[in-house]
Structure 1
Amino acid sequence: MAPPPQHLRVDVAGSPYGAAMLTPAYAVPFELDRSRAPRVHRLVNRGDEPVLGLRVTLLGCGLLVPVASTRLEPGASMTVSVIGIELSRSAIAVVRWFRPTGEEYLWRFSF
């Protein structure tokens, strides 16, 4: 395979972002189980490390029972209960957590 043309090459060694460009992206570790929707959703940690300081909040119209956990191990789950009219059009849930390294992440899902 031929190398990319000169104008498309990136000098990662000389870039302050070189190491970050070579690091694989961190995949969201959650699977959303909607089998009991629309009122109950289950957040399952499918990652290979625990998530810390997990919190789920609702943006928009509706009511979400406050959900928080200090630690969710791989394979463990958390139940999210929500009520509202037309949640699919009027609200989203935001999941916030920390990796064991201390990095903060946010992920949103719709109903």
Structure 2
Amino acid sequence: MTRSHLAPVSDEIAYRVPWHFAQAEAHYRLRNTGAETLSGVTFWLFGSGVMPASAPATLHPGDALHLHITGSDLARDTIGIVRWFRLDGTEYLWRVSF
């Protein structure tokens, strides 16, 4: 008996992550490098790093979210997760390492 639980093959081109994440000391910048406006943009921090809370943002192409993140060893014990919605309402998550 043959069973197939594989999803159908899609010919859709992969969606390129529309972000550039840059650092200057404790100040980080998450810039929308894509061609579309992104809504509900939030940044979550997991680990020992600390940052102030912020409300979800809408970022137009070229706009940036400025974040103040501190911690003793972010590269070793902290990750960030960016969450956003495209114009069609599809939700995306992207992991950021320090």
Shorter-chain TM-score bucket reads 0.7 to 0.9
**Aligned-pair CA distance for 1:110:** 1.1
The structure 1 segments of at least 4 consecutive aligned residues displaced by more than 4 Å after TM superposition are: none
Structure 2 partner of 1:29: 18
Which residue type is aligned with residue 16 of structure 2?
A
Q: Show CA shifts across 1:1-56 (max 9, x none).
A: xxxxxxxxxxxxxx9724xx11001111001122x13x111000000001110000
In the alignment, structure 1 segments of 5+ residues that lack a partner are: 1-14
Structure with the largest fraction of helix? 1
Equivalenced residues, count: 93
Instruction: Identify the match of residue 55 of structure 2 among 47, 68, 76.
Output: 68
Greater Rg by CA: 1
Q: Separation in 2 of the partners of 1:60 and 1:16?
A: 34
Where in structure 2 are the equivalents of 1:30-69 lying within 5 Å? 30-34=19-23, 36-37=24-25, 39-69=26-56
Q: TM-score, normalised by structure 1?
A: 0.77
Q: TM-score, normalised by structure 2?
A: 0.87
Which residue type is aligned with residue 18 of structure 2?
P
Q: Separation in 2 of the partners of 1:78 and 1:61?
A: 21
RCO higher in structure (CA 8 A, sep ≥6):
2
Structure 2 partner of 1:4: none
Does residue 78 (structure 1) correspond to residue 73 (structure 2)? The answer is no
Task: Check 1:62–1:17 CA distance in 2 against 1; reply closer, same or farther (3 A cut).
Answer: same
Q: Separation in 2 of the partners of 1:51 and 1:68?
A: 14
